[in-house]
Amino acid sequence: MKIIEVHGVSKSYGGVKANTDISIDVEQGGITGLIGPNGSGKTTLFNSIVGYHPVDSGSIKFEGKEISKMLVQDIARLGLLRTFQQTRIYGDMNCVENMLISMPHRKMTLWESFTTNTRADHDRAEQLLDFVGLYEKRFLRSGSLSFGQQKLLEFAMALMNEPTVLLLDEPTAGVDIDLRRQLWDYVRELNEGGVTVILTTHYLEEAEEMCDRIAIINHGAVIADEPKSALMGRLDSKTVTIVPAVPLTGVPAAIAARGEVTAEVVQGGALAITYSRSNASLGTLLDLARDSGIEIRDVTTSEASLEGVFLDLIHDSDG
């Protein structure tokens, strides 16, 4: 089921086209990644979806309802929320106060946002701070937190509104690898709980690790929008590394003569063969190695990476 439908959306700033005729459908319950070079239009698309600026043309629907002309706060109350590349927290407030002030977006009226928060509100704030590992710092001024901890706080603040869809704009930019993987775990757990996630990222391994569908944007246009498995299938190459009982000093002649493969001796005297799955099979190559007198001790294989797909598509779109 499609929870967000973006059809033919364009947005310009002056004479600069940030998004051009973009169409993307987001499936409910999944994790969709938007990747592309700096300035490709990812954040502009995010801003259009959540109502931070009107689109010039096109349609954006959330759960079948047209939202392209709605205000940010009205879209947020529907359950569609976002975080930012640069954290937007209240530095002079403590973590709990930041959590409580973020609540009006979803369920409160304007009047209710000025009334006293309930014990249940405080409990939920502390529960979510515990979820992201900030419980012990809940009464610290948020401006004193590290940048990574501020990212965690902003993530928790968005969860106070019980989002149906959460848009994460560069959620792990500027944080160390341990915190990055910690955030991955939080996002997975959130998604397993039923929240649809859309994220932008510069880390291709993050998109490959996290997303089940990936859209690639370049120069404000979508150049690919497919399930990750289909996108990865665009690269037909595969590499098999054969570890022989006796280290090799050169590529066997019978393998070097095969025009459809590329072979080289790598570290430790192993033989790495890169081949097209449409032109050769792993079994055939292993038989060829044995016929060449190689006693095989171990075999490893590696698939095409998202980075390879991404670079190929960006290169093709740049013409």
Over residues 28-69, the pLDDT tens digits come to: 999 999 998 888 899 999 999 999 988 999 999 999 999 999
User: Using one digit for the tens of pLDDT, what is the confidence trace for 140-164?
Assistant: 999 999 988 998 998 899 898 889 9
Residue 5 has pLDDT above 70, yes or no: yes
Q: What percent of the chain has pLDDT over 70?
A: 93
User: Using one digit for the tens of pLDDT, what is the confidence trace for 190-217?
Assistant: 999 999 999 998 888 888 889 999 999 9
pLDDT of 49: 95
Residue 106 has pLDDT above 90, yes or no: no
Give me the sheet containing 57-62, strands edge to edge.
16-27, 2-13, 57-62, 65-66
Q: CA-to-CA distance for 203 and 7, rounded, in angstroms?
A: 27
Q: What percent of the chain has pLDDT over 90?
A: 56
Q: CA-to-CA distance for 290 and 147, rounded, in angstroms?
A: 55
pLDDT of 272: 93
Residue 19 has pLDDT above 70, yes or no: yes
Please give the biggest Cα pair distance in the chain.
Answer: 82
pLDDT tier, 310 (very low <50, low <70, confident <90, very high otherwise): confident
Distance of CA 241 to the CA centre of its chain: 30
Q: What mean pLDDT comes out for the span 259-287? A: 88
Look at 219 and 233; give whichever has higher pLDDT: 219
Q: CA 310, 313, 318: angle at the middle one, nearest 5? A: 120
Q: What is the overall mean pLDDT for the chain?
A: 88
Q: CA-to-CA distance for 208 and 144, rounded, in angstroms?
A: 33
pLDDT of 173: 83
pLDDT of 139: 95
Compute φ and ψ for 285, nearest 5 degrees: -70, -35
**Alpha-carbon dihedral angle through residues 64, 70, 71, 74, given to the nearest 10 degrees:** -40
Q: CA-to-CA distance for 207 and 201, rounded, in angstroms?
A: 7
Look at 222 and 109; give whichever has higher pLDDT: 222
User: The pTM is what?
Assistant: 0.75
pLDDT of 319: 63
Say if CB 161 and CB 103 are below 8 A apart. yes
Tokens encoding 266: 């790598």
Q: Name the CATH topology of 2-232.
A: Rossmann fold (3.40.50)
Q: What is the CATH number of domain 237-303?
A: 3.30.70
Compute φ and ψ for 44, nearest 5 degrees: -60, -40
pLDDT of 249: 93
Domain boundaries along the sequence of the chain: 2-232, 237-303
Look at 99 and 309; give whichever has higher pLDDT: 99
Residue 183 has pLDDT above 70, yes or no: yes
Same fold, 2-232 and 237-303: no
pLDDT of 203: 81
Instruction: Give the three-state DSSP class for 288.
Output: helix
